[in-house]
Amino acid sequence: MEKLQNFIDGKFTSPKNGGYFDNYEPGTGKVYSLIPDSDSEDVELAVKAAEKAFPIWSSMSLEERSKILVKISEGIEKRMDEFVAAESRDNGKPLHLAAQVDIPRSVSNFHFFATAILHFASESHYMEGTGINYTTRKPIGLVGCISPWNLPLYLFSWKIAPALAAGNCVLAKPSEITPYTAFLLGKIAQEAGLPDGVLNIIHGTGPKAGDAIVRHPKIKAISFTGGTQTGAYISQATAPMFKKLSLELGGKNANIIFADCDFDDMLSTTIRSSFSNQGQICLCGSRIFIERAIYTKFRDAFVAKIIKTKVSFPTDPEAKLGAIVSESHLQKILSYIELAKEEGGTILAGGNRVKLSAPYDEGYYLEPTIIEGLDYACRTNQEEIFGPVVTITPFDSEEEVLMMANSTEYGLAATLWTSDLKRAHRLADKLQTGIVWVNDWLVRDLRTPFGGVKSSGVGREGGWEALRFFTEAKNIFIKY
Ligand code: NDP
């Protein structure tokens, strides 16, 4: 069975303790490779390599650094098919989704930050008659990047690319559930001529390998995407060391639909925003609020489409939904469907595990599920489920829907459907989220700030925000 390896100091290495654990293929439920069970010893080796590499990488000209990162982007693009197949197999997502979204976006993450760094400028502030301030922005040094399983390479590269572009050396850990494309990335980094020790990829569990990165005193900043609880744990662990933190955490996003929207456009986009990637995107709209005048029309049309949606194995070109990422996550989602019933919800579509024929009969498949009749304040409507499960709720006024939309502890993203421009501005302004899409969903411009408020996170990724996070500002004043 294939054994994945860590990528430390430019070389592929086994974990020091020799331990490995199983990597499951969600589509079949079978083990198909082994993951290094790395620990603090491996992190220590990577820290040493990164310390050695930092003076070389941080003093390299921007143009040289940029060229290497462009080569990484091109390297992934050249091996697109291999990356797409690996991502789909490792995560369970339909092959066509990995081909349209995950891997092309990973390519553009590297390309964007490779070129963005060439335009990244710092400020100067002139003080009439007194002097001038100028600000320098230098790389932090060693930084940790920890990412989740839902968009594996896409979110891994979303952190690594700006960290490297800004001149830092990186210790990165992908989720143990989806390590494969991160493993492939090491090969691309080698081929692109990235100096040894600049990027170190350490596989293993969160509590062992992840924790060792988080707690290492020489790693000065942590960029983390994952669950809110893990984010809270990382905040606590790093607070006494005053590490810089960027936390992209959970969500419970509202999708607000007014009667004056373009119905067909709204419906097809709402199907995507509810169930893409089996609903395992932090930006999916899991609470759908519909103005009462079109509630029945929407419900009937939505349910009619969803009951025909094909759930199938990832390589099936007709699969609209693939497999859930793991058996334990599938069980968690099913437990929320049971909770919704206990809370008085009616299942309008889905709700059941799907059994495919061999060799996919042990895979983790679930029907897309629509639930109505729940109170906005119940647990099903307040807690993150992170699967193909949405609730639908009617509303009568802007005030009411705003109150319901803002009622959760989360504040990542919201989607708003209306043709009334003034209303769009009014509500977008009042929604307590870091991102609002009006009449669309998941539109991505890499220059814009990305992140959430409340328990959805701290800080922003994307564009200058990411480059500012991965640099330390120093202000220098010169008297006239
Ligand atoms: P987790 O918080 O479980 O894990 C995220 C990463 O942190 C994984 O690499 C995990 O490793 C690692 N980790 C776990 N425990 C620790 C620890 N004690 N110290 C250091 N690292 C640790 O999240 P999931 O992987 O389950 O991802 C799903 C969550 O991510 C959802 O809540 C979702 O909303 C959120 N998310 C947020 C996004 C955003 O932009 N705001 C985008 C995408 C997802 P391992 O997997 O090996 O345990």
Mutate to test the pocket of ligand 1, among 146, 147, 211, 409 (most ligand atoms within 8 A of CB): 146
The sign one gets for the Cα dihedral 238, 210, 7, 86 is: negative
Mean pLDDT within 30-37 = 98
The Cα 31–Cα 392 span in angstroms is 37
The Cα 287–Cα 13 span in angstroms is 45
Widest pairwise Cα distance in the chain: 79
Mutate to test the pocket of ligand 1, among 91, 149, 176 (most ligand atoms within 8 A of CB): 149
Tokens of 244: 């810089």
Q: Measure Cα distances from 393 to 68, 170, 257 in Å.
A: 50, 45, 10
Question: What is the model's pLDDT at position 9?
Answer: 98
Mean pLDDT within 408-428 = 98
pLDDT band at residue 12 under the 50/70/90 scheme: very high
Ligand 1: which residue has its CA nearest to atom 46? 175
Tell me: the pLDDT tens digits for 137-184? Answer: 999 999 999 999 999 999 999 999 999 999 999 999 999 999 999 999
Mean pLDDT within 365-377 = 98
In angstroms, what is the span from residue 210 Cα to ligand 1's centroid?
Answer: 10
The Cα 176–Cα 162 span in angstroms is 23
> Phi and psi for 477 in degrees, rounded to 5?
-105, 135
In angstroms, what is the span from residue 57 Cα to ligand 1's centroid?
Answer: 29
Tell me: the pLDDT tens digits for 117-145? Answer: 999 999 999 999 999 999 999 999 999 99
Tell me: the pLDDT tens digits for 335-354? Answer: 999 999 999 999 999 999 99
In angstroms, what is the span from residue 248 Cα to ligand 1's centroid?
Answer: 9
87, 248, 367, 465: the catalytic one is 248
Mean pLDDT within 16-31 = 98
Q: What is the pTM of this model?
A: 0.96
Q: Is 282 in the active site?
A: yes
* Three-state DSSP state, 393: strand
Given the structure tokens 């807690």, which residue do they identify? 383
The Cα 436–Cα 440 span in angstroms is 9
Q: Identify which of 26, 23, 18 has the alpha carbon closest to the alpha carbon of residue 354.
A: 26
The sign one gets for the Cα dihedral 87, 93, 96, 97 is: negative
Q: Strand 413-417: give its sheet, edge to edge.
A: 346-349, 369-372, 389-395, 285-291, 253-257, 413-417, 435-438
226 lines ligand 1 (CB under 6 A): yes
Tell me: the pLDDT tens digits for 242-290? Answer: 999 999 999 999 999 999 999 999 999 999 999 999 999 999 999 999 9
The answer to whether 325 touches 178, Cβ cutoff 8 Å, is: yes
Q: What angle do CA 283, 347, 350 make, to 5 degrees?
A: 70
Tokens of 344: 């008085």
Question: What is the model's pLDDT at position 198?
Answer: 98
Q: Identify which of 169, 167, 158 has the alpha carbon closest to the alpha carbon of residue 136.
A: 167
Mean pLDDT within 295-304 = 98
In angstroms, what is the span from residue 165 Cα to ligand 1's centroid?
Answer: 24
The Cα 329–Cα 348 span in angstroms is 22
The answer to whether 130 touches 479, Cβ cutoff 8 Å, is: yes
Mutate to test the pocket of ligand 1, among 40, 150, 157 (most ligand atoms within 8 A of CB): 150
Question: What is the model's pLDDT at position 84?
Answer: 98
The answer to whether 213 touches 143, Cβ cutoff 8 Å, is: no
412 lines ligand 1 (CB under 6 A): yes
Q: Domains in the chain, ordered, with CATH?
A: 2-249+456-479 (3.40.605.10), 253-445 (3.40.309.10)
Tell me: the pLDDT tens digits for 72-82? Answer: 999 999 999 99
The Cα 314–Cα 84 span in angstroms is 11
145, 261, 282, 284: the catalytic one is 282
Mean pLDDT within 65-74 = 98
The Cα 82–Cα 91 span in angstroms is 14
pLDDT band at residue 458 under the 50/70/90 scheme: very high
Mean pLDDT within 373-392 = 98
206 lines ligand 1 (CB under 6 A): yes
Tell me: the pLDDT tens digits for 434-457? Answer: 999 999 999 999 999 999 999 999
Q: Identify which of 192, 228, 184, 177 has the alpha carbon closest to the alpha carbon of residue 73.
A: 192
Question: What is the model's pLDDT at position 207?
Answer: 97
72 lines ligand 1 (CB under 6 A): no
Ligand 1 atom nearest to CA at 149: 25
Provide the Cα torsion 158, 161, 164, 166; round to 10°: -80
Per DSSP, 1 falls in state: -
Q: Identify which of 130, 156, 243, 180 has the alpha carbon closest to the alpha carbon of residue 479.
A: 130
The answer to whether 9 touches 54, Cβ cutoff 8 Å, is: no
175 lines ligand 1 (CB under 6 A): yes
What percent of the chain has pLDDT above 90? 100
* Three-state DSSP state, 401: helix
Given the structure tokens 């629509």, which residue do they identify? 370
